[in-house]
Chains A and B, each alone.
Chain A
C-alpha cells in the first residue's frame, strides 16, 4: 500500500493513499466535527461542517470527502475554518425547531453537541423556521420533519442499505425536505419499520415511537402483573446505553435493573427462541419430507415480514408459519402462564425489550392475539428505551449484583443466544434439525461459514444422506437477491434465513446509537462467546422447553402449537 505524507495542524503524518483528510486526522487523534458523515455509509458531503483549510486552495474543502495528497498542508481549526463551521451550524439552527429541553434527543443529539463544542450561545441569524406536520401514523417510527437537518443519512440507509426506497429528498433549495416519497406517511409507503433510519439520524427527526410512558403507567398500576421478556441481542448492547464498553455482556445486571424498575417477573426471549427452533425445525422437516413448498424462509424478523407482505406477496407460502419468538412468548404469557400461575390474563401486562422498532408494529398486528380484545404483547421497548428508563430511575447499573432470569421462561441455550446475529437462527436450526433427522449427535456445533458480516452466506448440510443447501441474508437489499431467486424458481436452497438489519438484531433499529460495522462485530463476538460459554447449546435440549411440551403443548406442530405459535401472512402489496 502506498503511503502519503502530509501535515495536519503542524503534525507530520503518513497515511495510506486514498485515505480522507477526516480519517487521517482521526488516526492521529485529531477529531474533525461532522454531521452528515456516518461510518460505513456513503459520503454525502452536504452538511459542510467538516470543512478544513488546505494550503494553496482558496475555498475550504470537506474533509470527509477529500482524499489526502502528497505534501498537503491541512489546518483543521484555523479562524476561517472555525468561523465557517460556526456559521454553518447557526444556519442549520436558524431553520430548526430548537427546543432542546423538550426534544427526545436532548443530550444525545449530534447537532446539540456540535453547537456546544463550537460555543454557539447566540444565533446571528433570525429564525426562518416554519412548522410542518409530524408523521405519527404508525406504531414504530416517528418522523418529525421540524428537526430534520437534511443530512441525508436516513435516505441513504433506506435506499442503499435496505433498498426499500421509502425515504427521499423532496423539493429543492430552501424548501428541500426529507420525507417518505410523494410526501406521504411512512405507513402509506411500504415502510418496513426496520428503524435503520432512526438509528442513524443525528438529531431527533426520526426516532422510535416512545412507549416508556405506557410501561411506567403499567408498572405503577397495582392491579397489573407486569412481566417482561428480553431479546437475545439486548444483553450485548444495553451496556453501551449505560456507559459500558461496546460488546459488554450485561445479562445479570440487566435483569437486576429490571427488577428495580418494578417488573414482577423478568423472562428471557431466548426461551421462546428455543421454542421457535423446535417448531420451525419440525416445519422444515415436514416440508422436506412431504414435498411442501421450498425453500422455507424464516419468519422471526417482522421487518422482513413487512417487506415480504408488501413487495413479495407471491412468495409468502415460502415463509415459515411460526410466529417470532417475541410473539410465541406473548401467546404463552397470555395462555400457559396464567394457567400455571392462576393470575387472570386480563391483569397480565406483557412488555418486551427488543433491539427492534419493527417489533412494535408486530405486537400490534391483529393476528397476534390469543384474546381478540387485547394484544399478547402489550408494549414493546427498544434497547434505547430500556436504557432511558434505567437512567430515569437513577439506577447505578455498574454496581448492581447480577440476577438470574425467572422461571418458567428463564432457562435457555446457546442456540437461542445467537438468534441475535445474522446466521444465528440458521445455525441454531441446523443444530436441531441435523440431530432430529440424522438421529445422531452433530459434531462441531460452530458453522463458521454462516457467521460474520458478509451480505449473503451459504452452507451445506447432510440431512438423511442428502446434501441440502441453506443461505443467510441480512439487509433487505441482500434479501431481495434471494427473494428474486425464490420468485423465479431458481433458488438452490432448502432453507433461507433473512434478517432485515445489517448484522441481524445486534444491528437493529432500536439498538444504541452509533452502531457501525466495528460495533456490530463487537456485539457479534460477544454473542458467540455467550453461546460457547453455555452448557446447553441446542434448543431441543432446553429442559424448560421439554417441560412445556410435556405439560401443555404436547407435540411440535400440534393443535395447540398451531393455535398459539403459528400465524399467517397477508398480501399487502396494493396501496389503500
Chain B
C-alpha cells in the first residue's frame, strides 16, 4: 500500500518560503479558476465532493459554506482553526510548515464563494515556526495580489491575519476559539445560534480546519464529482494521518479513506519498534477510542468510527505496545481532560476528577465490581450531558476500554493488592 498524495503533494518538493515555487507547482491556479466561476458553482462543487470537515467532527463543509453565504451581513469572518492541541495530532503543523500557501489559497476560495471579508488563522501558540511561515506567506500573497483589495483585479477583496492561540486545548472548540479571539477566556457558548449565524463579534463566521481548507484547491482542480470517487461513500477524499507511538516510522501520511488501520501501522509505519506486540491503539487522539490488536482491520471512515460513539477525530493513530499498562494510559488521558476542561459545565468540570480517582483504584488494585459500574455510568453521563465537544468526547477512551479491555478491569479486581 502506498500513500495517495493530493494535499501533501508539495511536501518536501518546494521551499515553503517561496511563493514562486508554489505557483510553479500549480499554486494559485485554482484560485484563478474559482474567480472565474459563479459563487454558487463553487459551493456546488464542494457539495458534490462530499467533503467533510477534517477537524474532528466531520461536518459537511458545503453546508457551512451555504450557511455563511446566505447571511446578508456586510462583514463575514473566515477562520482557519490551527489550534491543533489534541495529543497525537500534528498533521496541521505539517500542512502549515510544508505548504502554507495551499491553506491561504483554500481560504481565499471559500471566502470568495461565501462572501467572507476577513480571514483569521488561529494557530496554536507553541507552533512558532508555523506562525512565522504563515505571516511571511500572507505578506507574499498580498504582494502578488492574491490577498488584499481587488484580488487579481476582481471586485473581490479579502485579507488574512494570523493570531496566536491562548495555549489551551479547549480553545480549538469553535466557540471557545471565537471567545478567545474576542479576548475573553476560552469557554464555549450556548448553541444556537451557530457561528455561521453569529460568531466573532456576533458576525457570521465560518470555521474550518487547516486540512479542510487545504483540500479546497484540489476539489476545484479535479472537480467535486471526481473527488467524491476517492475514499469510501461516506468519507470521500484523502486524510492526513498523524502516526505516533511505538511504531518504527512516525509521521504524517496521506491515505484515501477506506484504508485499514493495520495497513497504516504496518505498511506506512513499518510496524512496531523491535517487533513487539501491540497492546492497544488509540484513534483520533486523546478523545478517541482505544481498540485492541484484533480490531486493526477496521477501515478509516467517518461512519465506522461512529460505532465507537466517537468522531473520527482529526486522524491520529497512536500505537502502544505490550510493555505499557492500559490504566496508566487511561489515567493520563483523564487527567489531561481534567486539566483542559474549561470548567463551564458540571459533568466535565466535576466528572473528570472522579473518573481519575476511579481509574486510580484500578491502578492501585483497590477496585471492586461496583467501581466498574460507576466508571461506566459516569463516563456515559459526561459523554451524553456535557455542553461542548470536549466533555462529549473525552470519555471515549474509557467507554471503549470497558468494551474491549474488560478483562483487564476484572483482572485488577480479582487480584487485589494485599495488605
Q: Which residues of A contact B (CB under 8 A)?
A: 43-49, 51, 58-60, 62, 65, 67, 80, 83-84, 87-88, 91-92, 94-95, 124-126, 128, 149-150, 152, 169, 171-176
Contact = CB atoms under 8 A, between A and B. Distances in A.
A173 B351 CA distance: 10
B339 interface: yes
A152 B350 CA distance: 16
Nearest to A62: B387
A150 B377 contact: no
Contacts of A80: 384
B346 A128 contact: no
Contact of A59 (B168, B338, B349, B383): B383
B342 interface: yes
B242 interface: no
B347 A48 contact: yes
B350 A94 contact: yes
Contacts, number: 104
A172 B185 contact: yes
A65 B192 CA distance: 8
Contact of A172 (B342, B383, B386, B392): B342
Contacts of A95: 350
Contacts of A125: 354, 374, 378
Interface of B: 168, 170, 185, 187, 190-192, 309, 338-347, 349-354, 357, 374, 377-378, 381, 383-387, 392
Given A47-B346, A92-B346, A169-B185, A59 B354 contact: no
Given A44-B190, A58-B384, A172-B341, 14 more contacts: A43-B190, A45-B190, A47-B345, A47-B346, A48-B346, A48-B386, A59-B392, A80-B384, A84-B384, A87-B377, A150-B349, A169-B187, A173-B339, A173-B340
Q: Which 8 A-B pairs have the closest CB atoms?
A: A176-B343, A91-B350, A173-B341, A87-B381, A45-B190, A59-B384, A172-B343, A46-B345
B309 A46 contact: no
Nearest to A168: B185
A174 B381 contact: no
B398 to A, nearest CB: 15
8 contacts: A45-B190, A46-B344, A48-B346, A84-B385, A88-B347, A91-B354, A125-B378, A150-B349
Contacts of B357: 126, 128
B384 A173 contact: no
Contacts of A46: 344-346, 387
A88 B354 CA distance: 12
Contacts of B351: 91
A67 B185 contact: no
A259 B213 CA distance: 76
Contact of B385 (A51, A172, A174): A51
Nearest to B344: A46
A174 B387 contact: no
Of A44, A171, A172, most B-chain CB atoms within 10 Å:
A172
A41 to B, nearest CB: 12
Contacts of B353: 128, 174
Contacts of A49: 346
B144 to A, nearest CB: 42
Contacts of A48: 345-347, 385-387
B343 A173 contact: yes
Nearest to B192: A67
Given A65-B190, A174-B353, A60 B384 contact: yes
A538 to B, nearest CB: 48
Contacts of B339: 173
A87 B351 CA distance: 9
A152 B343 CA distance: 11
B168 A172 contact: yes
A149 B344 CA distance: 10
Contacts of A58: 309, 384
